[in-house]
Amino acid sequence: MRVTRQLPWTLVVPALALIALGATWGRKPGDVVLALVAALLAGAVLASVHHAEVVAHRVGEPLGSLVLAVAVTVIEVGLIVALMASGDSETDTLARDTVFAAAMITCNGIVGLCLVVTALRRRIATFNAEGTATAFATVITLATLCLVLPTFTTSTPGPTFSPTQLAFAGVASVTTYALFVFVQNVRHRDFFVPPDLAHGAEDVHTEAPSDRTALFSLAALVLSLVAVIGLAKVESPAIEDAVDAVGAPQSAVGVAIALLVLLPETLAAYRNARRDRLQTSFNLAYGSAVASIGLTIPAVALASIWLDGSLVLGLNSTQITLLVLTAGIGALTILPGRATLQEGGIHLVIFGAFLLLAVNP
């Protein structure tokens, strides 16, 4: 009797998503096609999370979280540059709005969600304060250097950097990110694993996948993320139309794009929180924020040499206020190394305020 092996959905759905991406790229499809694209986008997100978990299981923490964060961010940068180059809409602030939205989504939305999930199950959410504080300090430093300072510099008119200042911001971002990766994965790796594992407890899991399986999942992860980001680009004209229809400012487009491209990290972080692996959730959240700023700003700084128009990076007063509030509350949440339902709820309230003000400033 002949036995046939069916391809898993984690390969079929991304393949269909890539086919849909090729068929719709550069076009403005109708509502029915957009609905199909949205369904395939959701499936590709789920597939990317599955493959990311396979890779993370093979390489261990915190390197596993880094793989997903960097993969998403690199492709996100390509999406931002592609949208900026298209010139179809006002894109001078697109990089700023997307990066700031990524910081708010990760530091408040994802962190708050994971704290609430863990606190509801365990009453007290515990994590490694040393590593989490290091990651959060890196996020706030990069956000201040790249997104706050341009608002107050005087060398150029408006919330922009001069060429020299932009070059420094790009170099500082890459250097800071590289230092963070070294500290996280080499120098102080024990700071970024769950507290019980840092003190020698065994990590109880199923048998780790083979190298071949992990490499196959890594390739499938990249293809899935290409489908996610590419289909998000296909959906972007519809997003812009929706933003215009509700009378929201152009900055809401960057928020919508960030919400789409961060879906894989959000789902992966939530699933880890459900499994009582809050430190892994934090590694995903803060690691994504560090990568988003540390890699996007240098990339768009280089791209701005060839693109027309100015590169507006400075946040407005409302955005700066939200960032300062996030910095203060985030520090109070992280430093004790344990948090309750209240801290998770506060982060979600800040995230809700960010979403409201993005649509209704």
The residue written with tokens 């420094």 in the block is: 168
Given a cut of 60, is residue 14 above it in pLDDT? yes
| pLDDT of res. 3 | 42
Q: Which helix (H) or strand (E) holds 100?
A: helix 94-104
* C-beta separation of 91 from 254 below 8 A: no
* C-beta separation of 24 from 234 below 8 A: yes
Q: Which of 257, 237, 241, 254 is nearest to 358 (CA)?
A: 254
Mean pLDDT of the chain: 84
pLDDT single digits (tens) 256-267 = 888 877 888 888
pLDDT single digits (tens) 286-325 = 988 998 899 888 888 888 777 766 788 999 999 999 999 9
**What's the token pair of residue 134?**
């290091």
Task: Count how many residues are written for the chain.
Answer: 361
The residue-averaged pLDDT of 15-44 equals: 83
pLDDT single digits (tens) 81-103 = 777 766 555 677 888 898 999 99
Q: How is 36-92 classified by DSSP, letter by letter?
A: HHHHHHHHHHHHHHHHHHHHHHHH-TTHHHHHHHHHHHHHHHHHHHHHHHH-SS--T
Residues 6+ apart with CB under 8 A from 34: 234, 235, 238
Is residue 4 exposed (0-12), middle (13-18) or buried (19+ Cβ within 10 Å)?
exposed
Q: Which residue has the higher pLDDT, 114 or 49?
A: 114
| pLDDT of res. 86 | 62
Cα separation, 268 vs 38, whole angstroms: 19
Domains for the chain: give ranges and CATH numbers. Answer: 9-200+207-359 (1.20.1420.30)
Residue 339: phi, psi to the nearest 5?
-145, 160
**What's the token pair of residue 125?**
């959410």
| pLDDT of res. 108 | 96
